[in-house]
Chains A and B, each alone.
Chain A
C-alpha cells in the first residue's frame, strides 16, 4: 500500500516558514496498522484502529481529529511505542517501533507530571532515564534554557500542585522538548487549559516547531486548533478508527500572527472538517446509547 499523499505548507512570507525542499523524507510511516487492547474480564479484545496508513514527513505538523474513543490516542501511543501493532507496521526513521526511544517525546492531556518532583526536576527527568551522552554542565544549561523558553524562570523549585493548569502544561512541554527529540507527540495538550492561554500557547508552539523543524503529531478535539496548527488534518472515524479523510491546510504561516481565521479559505476548511467530524460524532452519540 502506498503511503498517503504528503501535505505541503502554503506560501509563507516569513523566511523561517519556507516550504519544505522537494523529496521530503517520511519519518513516521504507518502501514495498514491495526491495534487495540484486550478486555480482560470479557475474554474479548477491542480493535481501536483498523488499517491506518499514514506517512508523516520530516518537519510536518499533522493533527488528528475525530470523535471521543476513535483511537487517536492509541495511534500516538503506537508511534511512541507504548502499544504494539496487531497487524501492519509502524516505522519511525525507517525502523519498526518496538518501544519508546529518545527520538520521540510526548505531551499529555493530564500533564502527567511527577507530583513529588519540582518543576526543574520534572524537566530534568528525561536525562535521568535516557543516556543521551550529554555532560552534566550541558544538561544543566539545557534544562535552564527550556525553563526559560516556557517562561517558568523563578518557578524552578515549585511543585506542580502549586501551578495553574497552563503552567503545568508548560512544564509538560518543556519536559518533552528538553531532550530535543525529532518527533513531538501531543495528546490534547491544551484541552484542559482556558481559551485565552490556549490560543497564546498554540501560537508559541507553532513558532517554536517551525524554528526547530521538529515533526509533530498532535491530537485535538478542536477543529479551530487543528486548522490553526496543522499542515494536514487527519479525520478519523468512529470505532474502529479508520482514516476518513486527510485534509491539506494551505494557509500562510505563522497563522497565529496572520489572523488566518478571517480568511475565506479558513471558513471553508472549517466547514469541510466539521461536516466530516459531525457524521462521526453523531455515530458516537448513537453508539453511546
Chain B
C-alpha cells in the first residue's frame, strides 16, 4: 500500500466518489413500483363510486337515506358554485360554511400551538413544571372533549368564542404531549456531543433539543388537526348557525341527503389535505425521519 502524504491532503477514509450517481432508464416494473399505487387508488375509487351509483339507483335503500353518487357530486358542485341568497337559513351553498369552519379551525389551531408548544417544551425541560402540569394535562387529555361542550355553552353561549375554545382545547393536548415527549427523548449522545464541543445550557436547548423536537411538534400539530376538526364539527352541531357541522344537521333535518353526503365527503377531503400538508412539512424539516418511508 502506498503511503498518502498528509501534508497535501492525505485522507482518513475508504475511497469515495461523489459522482457515482448516473441517469438510468426505468423498466416497466420499476415505473409500476413508483406510480402503481396511484393508478390503483384511482381505479379503486372509480369502482367504489360506480358501485355506489348502481346500488343507490337499484332502490334497495331509500334515496332519502342514500343518494346516488352523481347526486352527491352535483350537490357538491352546486354548493361551490352558488352563494346563499341573503337571509336564507339553509341553502345548498357550501362555500360560506366551509370558509367559516376553516377560519375557526385555523384560529383554534393557532391558539393551540401558541399554548401547546411552549407548555410542552417547558414540561420536557423542567422537572418542576412537568410535575405540576402533568396531572392536569393527562386528566384533560383523557377526558372526552365532547363532555365539556355543555360547560362551554354555559360559559360562552352559542358563540364563535365557544366554538374556537372547543377546537383549541381539542387540538392542544396532542401538541403538548408530542412536544413534551420530543424534549424528553432527545438523544443523550447528541447532548453529550454538544457539551463536549462547548455548548452552554442555553445552546443545548437551542441547538440540540429544539431541532430534535421540531418533527415531534409537527406530528403533534398533525394529530391536533384531526382532533381540531372533530372539535369544529362537534361545536357546530351542538350550537351554531354556520359551518359544516351546522350544514350537516340542517341537511339531515331537511332530508337533503345529497348535501349531507357531500359535506361528509368534503370533511374527508379537508382532513386528508391538511394531514398531507403537515406530512410534507415534516418530511421537509426532518428528512432523516422518512428514509424508509415513501
Evaluate contact between B10 and A149: CB separation under 8 angstroms: yes
> Known contacts A100-B198, A125-B197, A128-B207; is A208 also within 8 Å of B19 by CB?
no
Whether B196 contacts A152 by the Cβ 8 Å rule is no
CB <8 Å contact, B11 and A151: yes
Is B12 touching A151 in the complex (CB atoms < 8 A)?
yes
Judge if B155 is at the interface, Cβ distance under 8 Å.
no
- B291 interface residue, CB < 8 Å from A? yes
| A108 partner, pick from B13, B189, B285, beta carbons under 8 A | B189
Contacting pair A100 B197 (CB below 8 A): yes
A151's partner among B15, B192, B197 (CB-CB below 8 A) is B15
| A102 lies within 8 A of chain B by Cβ | yes
Contact segment of B1-9, B60-68, B76-84? B1-9
Asked whether, in the complex, the Cβ of A116 is within 8 Å of the Cβ of B12, the reply is no
CB A162 to nearest CB in B, in angstroms, measures: 8
Report the count of interface residues on A (CB-CB < 8 A): 50
Q: Does residue B208 face the partner (Cβ distance < 8 Å to A)? A: yes
**B interface, how many residues as a size bin?**
35 or more
User: 10 smallest A-B Cβ distances: which pairs?
Assistant: A154-B18, A151-B13, A151-B11, A204-B12, A112-B193, A130-B198, A129-B198, A161-B288, A115-B288, A112-B189
* A-B contact list, 11 entries, CB within 8 Å: A100-B197, A105-B197, A106-B196, A113-B193, A116-B285, A125-B197, A149-B6, A149-B11, A154-B19, A170-B13, A207-B4
Interface flag for A126 (CB, 8 Å): yes
| Contact B195–A159 (Cβ < 8 Å) | no
**CA–CA, A197 to B12, complex, Å?**
10
B residues neighboring A (CB under 8 Å): 1, 3-4, 6, 9-19, 187, 189-190, 192-200, 203, 207-208, 211-212, 214, 285-288, 291
A181 CA to B286 CA, complexed, in Å: 32
Closest chain A residue, CB of each to CB of B190: A112
Neighbouring A residues of B192 by C-beta, 8 Å: 77, 82, 106, 108, 112
Q: Is A175 an interface residue (CB 8 A)?
A: yes
**Distance of A154 Cα from B20 Cα, bound (Å):** 11
Interface residues, chain A, CB within 8 Å of chain B?
77, 80, 82, 100-102, 104-106, 108, 110, 112-116, 125-126, 128-130, 145, 148-155, 159-161, 166-167, 170, 173, 175, 179, 185, 196-197, 200-201, 204-205, 207-208, 211, 257
**Known contacts A108-B189, A116-B211, A154-B19: A129-B13 contact under CB 8 Å:** no
A269 CB to closest chain B CB (Å) equals: 23
Chain B neighbourhood of A129, CB < 8 A: 194, 197-200, 203, 207
CB distance from A270 to the nearest CB of B (A): 22
Contacts of B200 in A (CB 8 A): 129
Partner among B6, B16, B195, B291 whose Cβ is within 8 Å of the Cβ of A152: B16
